[in-house]
Amino acid sequence: MEPTLFKSQIKNVKFGKNVKVISPSNIYDCIIGDNSFIGPFVEIQKNAEIGNRTKVQSHSFICELVTIGDDCFIGHGVMFINDLFQGGEPAGGDSSKWKSTRIGNHVSIGSNATILPVNICDNVVVGAGAVVTKDITESGIYAGNPARRIKDL
C-alpha cells in the first residue's frame, strides 16, 4: 500500500516585513514578526507567535500556544512541548489539556534544548541541551537537566 503523502507548506501565516523563510518548512496559522528568519526543516504550528528580529534555526519545533518575543535566537533542533502527558498518556487532540509557553525578549536558546510549558523572562540564555521544566523569572544563564541558573548576565 502507498502512504498518504502531505507536503510541507506555508499556509495562513501573518508575516511581518522582510521575513526570510528557508524551505522546506511547515508553517501554518501563526504570526511571524518583522525581520525574522526561519531556517529549513522548521515547524511552527497554529496559534504560535514569533516576535520581531527573531531567528529560528533549522530542525526546530514550535508547537501551538508558544509565544516568542523580540530579538530572540532559537538554536538548531530546539523542541517546545505543550503536552505534559498529565493523565499518563498523550492528550492527543484534546487541546484543553495543552499548556502555553511564553518566551520574553532577548532570549537565546541553545541547540537541542527542550522547553516545557513555562514562562521565561527577558534577557535569558538557555544552554545547549538544557531542559527547562520550570518558569525562569530572573535574567541569567541557565543550563542542565533540569535547567538551573549558573551565571549572571
pLDDT digits (tens, 9 = 90+) for 130-151: 999 999 999 999 999 999 999 9
Is residue 91 in some structural domain? no
> Of residues 10 and 6, which shows the higher confidence score?
10
Which of these, 153, 127, 117, lies nearest to 138 by C-alpha position? 153
Is residue 2 in some structural domain? no
Domain residue limits at 72: 10-85+96-151
Is residue 129 in some structural domain? yes
Query: Residue 110 sits in a domain of what CATH number?
Result: 2.160.10.10
Is residue 1 in some structural domain? no
CA distances from 121 to 9, 20, 110 (A): 32, 26, 16
Residue reference for cell 543550563: 143
Is residue 71 in some structural domain? yes
Residue-wise pLDDT for 42-87, tens only, equals 999 999 999 999 999 999 999 999 999 999 999 999 999 998 888 8
Q: Residue 27: pLDDT above 90?
A: yes
> Of residues 149 and 153, which shows the higher confidence score?
149
The count of structural domains within the chain is 1
**Cell triple for residue 15?**
508575516
Is residue 111 in some structural domain? yes
Residue-wise pLDDT for 86-117, tens only, equals 888 888 878 888 999 999 999 999 999 999 99
Mean pLDDT, all residues of the chain: 96
State the average pLDDT over residues 32-38. Answer: 98
For residues 70 and 119, give the distance between their C-alpha atoms in angstroms, rounded to a whole number. 15
Is residue 36 in some structural domain? yes
Is residue 33 in some structural domain? yes
Q: Residue 32: pLDDT above 90?
A: yes
Q: Residue 119: pLDDT above 90?
A: yes
Starting from the edge strand earliest in sequence, which strands make up the sheet with 43-44, in order? 10-11, 26-28, 43-44, 61-62, 79-80, 114-115, 131-132
Amino acid at 17: K
